[in-house]
Amino acid sequence: MTLSGRVALVTGASQGIGRACALRLAASGAAVAVAARNQEKLTDLLREIEAAGGKASAFQMDVADEEQIKAAFKAALGQFGKIDILVNNAGITRDQLVMRMKRADWDSVLNTNLTSAYLCIQQVMSSMLKQRWGRIINITSVFGQMGQAGQANYAASKAGLIGLTMAIAREVGSRNITCNAVAPGFIETSMTAVLSEEFKQGAVKMIPLGRVGTTEDVANSVAFLASDEASYITGHVLSVNGGMLMG
Phi, psi at residue 35, to the nearest 5°?
A: -130, 135
Candidates 136, 127, 90, 117; CA nearest to 230 is 136
Find how far residue 78's CA is from the centre of its chain.
Answer: 22
Per-residue pLDDT tens digits for 68-85: 999 999 999 999 999 999
CA distances to 119, 159, 246 from 240, rounded to whole Å, are: 25, 16, 11
- What pLDDT is attached to residue 46? 98
Query: What pTM was estimated for this model as a whole?
Result: 0.96
Give the pLDDT confidence score for residue 201 in this predicted structure: 86
Residue positions annotated with a catalytic role: 154
The pLDDT, as a whole number, for residue 200 is: 82
Cα angle at 9 between 144 and 226, to 5 degrees? 70
Mean pLDDT for the stretch of residues 10-35: 98
Q: Per-residue pLDDT tens for 120-137?
A: 999 999 999 999 999 999
Summarised one tens digit per residue, pLDDT across range 38-50 is 999 999 999 999 9
CB neighbourhood size of 205 (10 A): 8
Mean pLDDT taken over the chain = 96
pLDDT 10s digits, 170-225: 999 999 999 999 999 999 987 777 777 888 888 899 999 999 999 999 999 999 99
- Cα–Cα distance between 224 and 231 in angstroms, integer? 10
CA-based end-to-end distance of the chain: 28
The predicted pLDDT at position 1 comes to 81
User: What is the arithmetic mean of pLDDT over 85-97?
Assistant: 97
Q: What is the pLDDT of residues 139-178, one digit of tens each?
A: 999 999 999 999 999 999 999 999 999 999 999 999 999 9
Nearest to 142 by CA among 120, 127, 158: 158
